[in-house]
Amino acid sequence: MKRVLGIIICCFVVATAYIAYVIAERQTALQKFARYNDSWAVGQTVSEYMRLEHRLAAYALGVEGVDRDEVRLRLDIMIGRAELLKQGNLRVFVEQDPQRRELLVKLANVLDMLDRELDALDTDRLKTILQSLAALDASMTSLASTAVEYDVALIDAAQEELRQLHLIYTGLAGGLILCGVVLVVLLLRHNRLLNRAHRKMKDLTDNLSEASGELKSQNSRLNHVAHHDALTGLPNRILFRQDLEARLQTALAGGPTALVFLLDLDGFKDVNDALGHDVGDGLLQAVAIRLTKLSREGDLVCRLGGDEFAILTAGLTEQEALDFARIIMDVVSLAYQISEREIKIGTCVGVALSNAHSGTDELFKHADLALYEAKSFGSAHACVFQSEMQTRLMEKKSFEADLRQALRKGELQVFYQPQVNTTTREIRGYEALMRWFHPVRGEVPPSEFIPVAENIGLIHELGGWVLRTACTEAVRWPRRLKVAVNLSPVQFRSRNLIQSVVAILSQSGLEPGRLELEITESVLLDKNEQTLDTLKELKAVGIQIAMDDFGTGYSSLGSLRSFPFDKIKIDRSFIRDITTRADAIAIVELVTGVARSLGMTTIAEGIETEEQFACVKQVGCDQVQGYLIGRPVPAAQLIHLRQIGHRFGSMEDEDLIDAQAVSGRM
């Protein structure tokens, strides 16, 4: 009996010890279950990272409702999440893999950089940081995925272990149920712990599923944002390029021809400036809707940026493409109702068709050239790319390059044409005219290179050079002779015009009263305070102001009362017909009379015959200029005026100018 009792006691001791061991093992398993919370924390960290990147991108794009404070809030949350990765079990998990450690270092660097620079970030720096954040997207997503896989494995192992422990518990309960209620109570307690652990595991599994779904949704949204325009919702330049590449591959494989329709809105900048960007945005959205409705099945309508749109299609002939382009122009040009305003706007269309050698960039460039060609004809024109457009573009670029080098190479010269008094036929001054002598192109007319110089921004340099050269040359002439220099409308709009003219007068030593600046009537298109102030400031210095080509542009007689002109140049188009048409001589007589009543000098340009000279003298024109008087010549050849003096009457010796050659032009 004692032996049996001893065995029973030993069994109780062993059972008690084993129960203690089992309890310890179950506590360890519960701790493993608790590890599952860390996986959820990693997932939340990645989710917060994506939210930060999205908010930063929206802030960079200027999306309404996203400001710097919101970005700062997301950044602080993300920094806190990143700190959790350095603590407890998460730190152990990260330290197990060198790549995870490296990722954590990069993440900390990017967040620290953003934290330090956020308040002073500009657009370019935002793009750089966004690129740094984007470079970690894949690694962060991989980290979340790895954490989930790692925890799922632990959960499976822990769950299997719990099952075994449950069996052991059940066996011990069955074997020791007769040994006491205490063992039963312990088993029930442990069962309750197990149930609680299962509930936690289920909740954690649901959270992980929700986080995974949110990550997928976030990735989908980011992908859409990356490939679509935020304002119109149309595909952007990235998707345009991808689709065009696919269409070209299909065309090369024997499929239908790929076509690019490129268009922008004529005068859109004026709409933005006059009515505001909100109206401009509404107009872009309305145009996008119309183009989308106009497109056929399989077409892709894109907004490439600003007011530039593109339509990708396939299978059209050149004539069908032109017909479709006309439809596009007709639809776009219909009136729009934007913010209770009626807006009308036009467009031009450039079309490019693929061939066996077309590449993505080449085809887009062809469409751009076709659009440029169409815009050269004015609004509501469409052009299909032809190889001649490429040739013309190359010639245009070559012309511009030669013009940029002309001044440096000494190809430009200043010629001078005399202006004489109609009554006495004495020379009163010279007009400085620019001439370009190219070694290959020969003499290039000013009507060809002056507009190009204005378009490429070279006119300021050329105009300043001509003015400086003319003033330097005029200092050597008799003091009663003036020099007239043309001002381009582009030059006149420069805010530094006054300072530049005054500086040149000071450097050359020419008296301001001997300088005459000629402006065209197109300057008067902007009848604003700046135009009037500029004219008044020039006159205040003592400079004479002349209106060139009067009667051919945009001015009216009323303009002569508003602007302080000293001289009016009657355009050669009236002088040419003055001997044959009564209306021409009537106009010259009218202009001369008005100018006289306003105290202005008149000069007729383009005098080529004695009959014309006699007519302008008869109507009272003060001065004349033209081939009859003298052709434009370099400064070194002004000695020829001695011959003109013999022809037109006696002239004093001071009228005979023997100036040295001055390299230049205007």
Of 234-243, 305-314, 637-646, the one with minimum mean pLDDT is 637-646
- Three-state DSSP string of 123-167: HHHHHHHHHHHHHCHHHHHHHHHHHHHHHHHHHHHHHHHHHHHHH
Q: Class assignment of domain 411-570+623-642?
A: alpha beta
pLDDT for residue 70: 82
Give the confidence band of 489 by pLDDT, cuts at 50, 70, 90: confident
How would you class 43 by CB atoms within 10 Å of its CB: exposed for 0-12, middle for 13-18, buried for 19 or more?
buried
Q: What is the mean pLDDT of residues 537-563?
A: 76
The ranges of the chain annotated as CATH 3.20.20.450 are 411-570+623-642
How far apart CA 537 and CA 533 sit, in angstroms, is 6
The ranges of the chain annotated as CATH 3.30.70.270 are 237-385
Give the confidence band of 494 by pLDDT, cuts at 50, 70, 90: confident
How far apart CA 103 and CA 457 sit, in angstroms, is 50
More confident residue, 636 or 646: 636
Helix or strand run (H / E) with residue 237:
helix 237-252
Could you name the CATH architecture of 237-385?
Answer: 2-Layer Sandwich (3.30)
Helix or strand run (H / E) with residue 221:
helix 181-227
pLDDT in tens, 279-306: 999 999 999 999 999 988 889 999 999 9
- Partners of 347 in the β-ladder: 265
Q: What is the mean pLDDT of residues 132-138?
A: 81
pLDDT in tens, 83-107: 887 887 778 788 888 888 888 888 8
More confident residue, 287 or 25: 287
Q: What is the mean pLDDT of residues 130-137?
A: 81
Half-sphere exposure in the Cβ direction for 89 (13 Å, CA): 15
Give the confidence band of 665 by pLDDT, cuts at 50, 70, 90: very low
DSSP conformation class of 105: H
pLDDT > 90 in the chain, percent: 37
Give the confidence band of 415 by pLDDT, cuts at 50, 70, 90: very high
Give the confidence band of 647 by pLDDT, cuts at 50, 70, 90: very low
pLDDT in tens, 574-608: 888 888 888 888 888 888 988 888 889 999 999 99
Q: Confirm or reject CATH 1.20.1530 for domain 34-154, answering yes or no.
A: no
Strongest mean pLDDT among 174-183, 498-507, 518-527? 498-507
Average pLDDT, the chain: 83
Q: List the structure tokens of 406.
A: 């002309």
Q: What is the mean pLDDT of residues 258-283?
A: 90
pLDDT in tens, 388-407: 888 888 888 898 899 999 98
585's CB contacts (< 8 A; 6+ apart) are: 578, 579, 615, 619
- Side by side, which strands form the sheet with 300-305? 300-305, 308-314, 258-266, 346-353, 382-384
Say if residues 374 and 343 touch (Cβ distance below 8 Å): no
More confident residue, 643 or 323: 323
pLDDT for residue 204: 84
pLDDT for residue 657: 33
Give the confidence band of 73 by pLDDT, cuts at 50, 70, 90: confident
pLDDT for residue 99: 85
Say if residues 204 and 36 touch (Cβ distance below 8 Å): yes
- Three-state DSSP string of 575-624: HHCCCCCHHHHHHHHHHHHHHHHCCCEEEEECCCCHHHHHHHHHCCCCEE
Strongest mean pLDDT among 148-152, 190-194, 484-488? 484-488
Q: What is the mean pLDDT of residues 333-357?
A: 90
Say if residues 140 and 222 touch (Cβ distance below 8 Å): no
Give the confidence band of 34 by pLDDT, cuts at 50, 70, 90: low
The ranges of the chain annotated as CATH 1.20.1440 are 34-154
Residue 651 has pLDDT above 50, yes or no: no
How far apart CA 76 and CA 295 sit, in angstroms, is 46
More confident residue, 548 or 562: 548
Q: List the structure tokens of 579.
A: 């001997």
Give the confidence band of 10 by pLDDT, cuts at 50, 70, 90: confident
Say if residues 538 and 501 touch (Cβ distance below 8 Å): yes
